[in-house]
Chain A
């Protein structure tokens, strides 16, 4: 029984060390607290399952994040599939109720950023969040994404560029409409 006790204390230790980082990655990736919580749990369940196969030569944190990235992208694919049915169909029933004027500025900007991030392709999104929010180094990011450091650099710059471009278009759109 020492075996299962070990495993239990090990996974709890790992969970407490890393859950916040994993959650932050996922909340930025999904843009939704509920989804992020569900996925965080899924990440650590996978970590538990594969812990016995974990090669201690690797960095534990980047290993956990590579699992998180897989979980996030799986979720993105599932969501995109279901969105095909949901979006077009239910949006026509959504209310056109106006938000209070004073809240407009902040929420609108947030909405832009949210949309811009959501429109990035998932690999770019992962790079931006890992580097910008989780503040991983280029080397760590390349370990997580299982690609070369050069690819991380290139992808990160392209992703940022695209993100800014999208934000600028949105803001300009608002400004011209406001005139």
Chain B
């Protein structure tokens, strides 16, 4: 029993060593039939692939000729190409990149009561993105080409099941792409609305109300020194033109740790403009001044 050969011999003897004759011939027939039907099927599929290919070609050909389809084709191509990026590109080399990590930040006077959550206003239409749009328009007027990224970051968070803290990760994606494609970019702004109340966030200059502005620099980005220098330059220029409009440079990003993507560009700063109780009009006034300041700095550094 200990011998392997005995064991295998016994195993061999244990079961019928031949299948039944009827089975052998029946299986051979089954295989023959299957092989035949497979051959037929293959011919049918070949034929159908060829004929459907011919039909599709004929259809596209006639569409192009009779219905002037080529204009449609270019439209389709354009829309496919343009769908991936939602920022408006200027023809000239872009110099400023504007985006909003918290794109739904809004203003209590501008939205309905339902859109105010814990004294914060959020809206997917009337929000901080409009301020960025205004900045991009004002810069354009001053011959400064800008890219305004209108990506709905909050929408993407929801879609991917991410949390609000992940906003910077999402906004980073486009930022990285744009910086890789455009080495002409010299300034990067992530524009937010601050969460302070009207008393703190507003200033009256020559009888008109303006939203105040402040610059946030991350201490943990690894780019802190250069970012801070740039932010200070912005603050000082604003002080010269409209004293009191800029609150100053704030250092953050230690706890909770956040680089605000500022390591990606030397002249990158997070802009907190206005507060929850400001109106878009007050925001736009400050925006136009800010655009002027940016143009001044760009001119000087030329």
Contacts and interface: CB of A to CB of B under 8 A. Distances in A.
Interface of A: 1, 3-5, 7-8, 10-12, 15-16, 19-20, 23-24, 27-28, 31-33, 36-37, 40-41, 44-45, 48-49, 109-110, 113-114, 117, 132-133, 160, 163-164, 167-168, 171
A40 B19 contact: yes
Contact of B11 (A23, A28, A32, A41): A28
Contacts of B39: 1, 3-5, 7-8
Contact of B19 (A3, A23, A132, A133): A23
A123 B28 CA distance: 29
Interface string B1-43: 1101001101110111111100110011011101110111011
A32 B19 CA distance: 11
Contacts of A164: 1-2, 7
28 contacts: A3-B43, A4-B40, A7-B38, A7-B39, A8-B35, A10-B35, A12-B35, A15-B28, A16-B28, A20-B18, A20-B19, A27-B15, A27-B19, A28-B15, A33-B19, A33-B20, A36-B19, A37-B19, A40-B19, A48-B31, A49-B38, A110-B14, A113-B10, A132-B11, A133-B8, A133-B11, A160-B4, A164-B1
Contacts of A5: 39
Contact of B14 (A1, A16, A113): A113
Contacts of B20: 33, 37
Contacts of B11: 28, 113, 117, 132-133
Contact of A132 (B8, B14, B15, B34): B8
B19 A19 contact: yes
Given A15-B28, A16-B28, A132-B8, A31 B23 contact: no
Given A41-B23, A113-B7, 13 more contacts: A1-B39, A11-B35, A12-B28, A27-B16, A27-B17, A36-B15, A45-B34, A48-B35, A110-B14, A113-B11, A133-B11, A164-B7, A167-B7
Nearest to A160: B4
Given A132-B4, A133-B8, A171-B1, A8 B16 contact: no
A36 B1 CA distance: 26
B10 to A, nearest CB: 6
B36 A4 contact: yes
Contacts of A44: 27, 31
B35 A15 contact: no
Nearest to A27: B15
Contacts of A48: 31, 34-35, 38
Contacts of B30: 41, 45
Nearest to A49: B38
A165 to B, nearest CB: 11
A3 B30 CA distance: 18
Contacts of A167: 1, 7
A157 B18 CA distance: 28
A4 B39 CA distance: 4
A114 B39 CA distance: 42
A105 B27 CA distance: 37
Nearest to A19: B24
A128 to B, nearest CB: 9
B45 to A, nearest CB: 12
B56 to A, nearest CB: 26
B180 to A, nearest CB: 42
A11 B31 contact: yes
Contact of A133 (B2, B12, B23, B34): B12
Nearest to B30: A41
A142 to B, nearest CB: 20
A110 B38 CA distance: 43
B21 to A, nearest CB: 11
Contacts of A24: 12, 17
B28 A163 contact: no
Contacts of A41: 23, 27, 30
A12 B30 CA distance: 10
Nearest to A44: B31
Contacts of B24: 19
The winner among B10, B35, B43 for most chain A CB atoms within 10 A is B35
